[in-house]
């Protein structure tokens, strides 16, 4: 059985909707995207579709196609996150409800007093270390066998730092916010140049009112 990355599968769905919408001339103009951004996103779409098709096919899945799609994911995610922030910060732009969904932009929600920030204490464990992809499970320390998110937890915030194996372990302050997960199980794709290094991961629970405390940091190898 092939261990496809659920992060890549869901990101493929996101890009397959967002990129075609953004590069339509009328949409790009209204959204304030530059000609260079449209050119970049057009190139992203073609390159991603080719790389993902090779990755997802059992006939071509392997070390090379995994490395290629993971490298594109890291590059495109950083670039597209910048565009999302650009759209969100543009005071002259009024996004439609559909566009908030298409670009996966979270509205600034006024916290509701009767729903506090999560109080459940989070933990994280490594479920599997696959080639260029580690799978993790977040848990509620008080209910470690419960599969779903605790009450009032909307998402899991994932923090990450990758260091050479001979470097000292980091502190919470050293970790960078890597991603958000709507599920308690998530995976992190890595690029090939990180093989042999150590991924340090922590999580916290979050909702529209704020975030809970970060979990203990766990260390896992990148293979």
Residue-by-residue DSSP string for 81-119: HHHHHHHHH-TT----HHHHHHTTPPP-PPPPTTSPSP-
| CA torsion angle 72 172 197 12 (round to 10) | -20
- Helix, strand, or coil (residue 4): coil
Domain coordinates in residue numbering, the chain = 6-102, 122-221
Q: For tokens 């209910």, what's the residue?
A: 143
Look at residue 2 in the predicted model and tell me its pLDDT: 84
CA distance 28 to 18: 12
Predicted pLDDT at 110? 59
Point out the residues of the chain with pLDDT beneath 50.
none
Q: How far apart are CA 159 and CA 124, in angstroms?
A: 11
The rounded distance, in Å, linking the Cα atoms of 167 and 160 is 15
| pLDDT score for 113 | 55
Topology (CATH) of 122-221? Immunoglobulin-like (2.60.40)
Model confidence over 192-212: pLDDT tens digits?
999 999 999 999 999 988 999
Structure tokens at 192: 């090939």
Q: What local confidence, expressed as pLDDT, does residue 147 receive? A: 80
């Amino acid at each position: 059985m092939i261990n496809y990355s659920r992060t890549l599968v869901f990101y493929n769905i996101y890009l397959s909707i967002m990129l075609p919408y953004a590069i339509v001339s009328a949409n790009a103009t209204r959204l304030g995207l530059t000609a260079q951004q449209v050119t970049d996103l057009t190139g992203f779409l073609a390159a991603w579709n080719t790389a993902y098709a090779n990755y997802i096919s059992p006939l071509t899945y392997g070390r090379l196609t995994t490395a290629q799609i993971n490298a594109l994911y890291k590059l495109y995610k950083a670039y597209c996150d910048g565009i999302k922030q650009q759209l969100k910060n543009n005071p002259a732009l009024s996004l439609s409800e559909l566009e908030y969904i298409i670009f996966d932009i979270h509205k600034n929600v006024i916290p509701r007093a009767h729903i506090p920030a999560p109080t459940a204490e989070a933990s994280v464990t490594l479920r599997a270390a696959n080639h260029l992809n580690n799978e993790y499970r977040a848990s509620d320390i008080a209910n470690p066998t419960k599969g779903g998110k605790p009450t009032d937890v909307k998402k899991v915030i994932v923090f990450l730092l990758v260091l050479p194996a001979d470097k000292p372990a980091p502190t919470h302050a050293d970790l960078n916010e890597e991603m958000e997960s709507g599920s308690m199980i998530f995976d992190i794709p890595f690029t090939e140049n990180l093989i042999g290094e150590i991924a340090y991961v922590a999580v916290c629970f979050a909702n529209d009112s704020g975030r809970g405390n970060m979990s203990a940091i766990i260390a896992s190898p990148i293979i």
